Amino acid sequence: MAPLPQSPFARFVHSESFAGLLLVCTALVAFIWANSPWREVYFAAQHTHFALSLGSARLDLSLAHWVNDGLMAVFFLLVGLEIKRELLIGELASRRRASLAVAAALGGMAVPAVFYLAVNAGGPGASGWGVPMATDIAFALGVLALLGSRVPLGLKVFLTALAIVDDLGAVLVIAVFYTSGLKLTFLALAALTWGIALYAGWRGAFSLKLYAVLGVLLWFFVLQSGLHATVAGVLLALAVPIRRPNPAGYLASLADAARPGRGEMVGARLRDLEDLLERSQSPLHRLEHALQPVVTFLVLPVFALVNAGVPVAAGGFGTVSLGVLLGLVLGKPLGVVGGAWLAVRAGVASLPRQVGWRHMVGAGLLAGVGFTMSLFVSNLAFGDAALLPQAKLGVLTASVLAAVLGATWLLLVARRGRAAVGAVG
């Protein structure tokens, strides 16, 4: 018997879990390389410059900046598409489910920042308060995937929604608090380009090539404006329409392509059917589907390879590392569970089916896996300063601890649940 097709959410969890495994491997390679006898090669490669020229225009950036400002814009484009989809037709479209995720995410952003500032307020590391605020969805869902059926599906759905709201909060923090020296001319050009993209989406333009061209222009203008270039990815995602093309023409074409034929005609019609079915999807779904493997197999592994190489001897474990560790390992679960509890207590939200407060504690612990977004904000907060290795060391240590604690906690909860069922039986 052929296996049943997976639901879109099941496919998403599977791909994110694999992304988490790939991130672990590349991060480990980077960490070992940065602390090996060949570490000079690693850091020299980070600072090697590559330039692009178009006429008199020239863009000269180091490899690290091309990755963090360029490739990561693609990651943020995917994040923006996921946020828009979830808000319109996904888990965040339901008021009660959205309220739970938003309340938990707000608590999970505010409390870690408070923990961090409790250690670093008034000191040279104070600007890093945004580092422990975000959750790495790939790592978190990867851990849940390893636990399999021991974890209720509702908890996976909640953690996904929480991470997506977290990502939105991180984007806002980057845009508002980690931006300086705005150039109004480029900012106006970026606004104009975004306006054109929004108008195209509103009028139902379904060509992905159009959004690709507008996206490149938007990225360049945002980069030059002083805003962080990755904000362009989220802005473009908001313009990509989620509406499907008018189905009338497609239905007629499908009926024609499905007519019986022989030999090469059958193969040609099958290819026509595949093409028609692909184009019948909304631009948002088509772009999200196209970007998923690019982000999984290229963008995030390269980002991890470039950014996870932390020389342990360079900065050591100082107050910045301690603040990040406390924020992610303690502040995250306290904020997530506290925010969710307040929302449920106020009557504006309810827990997912088969999910109890013990499960929510496990989700809060896993939300402390910050990795990708936390490393990204570390670069913005400290640049090439001496405190950057401290921040990265804190992120890596906290993420490993949060993953281990979260998985162990949920395993104990599952074992206790099976024991209770056995006792009743």
Q: Which residue has the tokens 């026509």?
A: 272
pTM reported for the whole predicted model: 0.76
Closest CA to 84 of 235, 261, 256: 235
Computed on alpha carbons and rounded to an integer, the radius of gyration of the chain in Å comes to 23
Higher pLDDT, 145 or 343: 343
Higher pLDDT, 89 or 197: 197
pLDDT at 226: 80
pLDDT digits (tens, 9 = 90+) for 103-153: 999 999 999 999 999 999 988 889 899 999 888 877 777 777 777 778 888
Q: Is 141:20 a contact under the CB 8 Å cutoff? A: yes
pLDDT at 217: 92
- Cα separation, 116 vs 109, whole angstroms: 11
Which residue type does 350 have? Answer: S
Supply the DSSP string of 118-156, one letter for each residue.
Answer: HHHTTSTTGGGGGGGG---HHHHHHHHHHHGGGS-HHHH
Pick from 154-158, 209-213, 218-222: least confident:
154-158
Supply the DSSP string of 311-380, one letter for each residue.
Answer: -HHHH-S-HHHHHHHHIIIIIHHHHHHHHHHHHHHTTS--PPTT--HHHHHHHHHHTT--HHHHHHHHHH
List of residues 6+ apart from 333 with CB closer than 8 A: 361, 364, 365, 367, 368
- Cα separation, 350 vs 330, whole angstroms: 24
DSSP-assigned beta bridge partners for residue 52: 59
Local confidence band at 2 (pLDDT 50, 70, 90 cut-offs)? very low
Domains defined for the chain, CATH in brackets: 8-47+95-179+292-424 (1.20.1530.10)
CA atoms within 13 Å, Cβ hemisphere of 112: 37
DSSP-assigned beta bridge partners for residue 50: 61
pLDDT at 219: 92
